[in-house]
Amino acid sequence: PCFLSQNKESIRFECEVEIPVPVIENFLQIHEPIQKIRDSFPKNDRWIQRSINFCPGIRILKSDPWETTCMFICSAMKQASE
């Protein structure tokens, strides 16, 4: 398992296995300006706006399409079973 936290100055990442910093930066899209990402969100979507206000450092993860599909299916199945 890995642990990720953020404060105003930095992002802290701990993992049981060694992961190169550039891989983490790419996955979190650290070098993408946060305002550019926020500006791409629909302004009339209140849930997205609430999320931005609640968690201003929110990022869209750059994950593999297959991994994303699997996570989506697992998430949907979990919701269906509850």
Whether pTM > 0.75 for this model: the answer is no
DSSP codes joined into one string, the chain: -EEEEE-SS-EEEEESS---HHHHHHHHTTTS-HHHHHHTS-TT-HHHHHHHHH-TT-------HHHHHHHHHHHHHHHHH-
pLDDT in tens, the chain (82 residues): 788 888 878 888 888 999 898 988 888 888 888 888 888 888 899 998 898 889 877 777 888 899 889 988 988 876 665 5
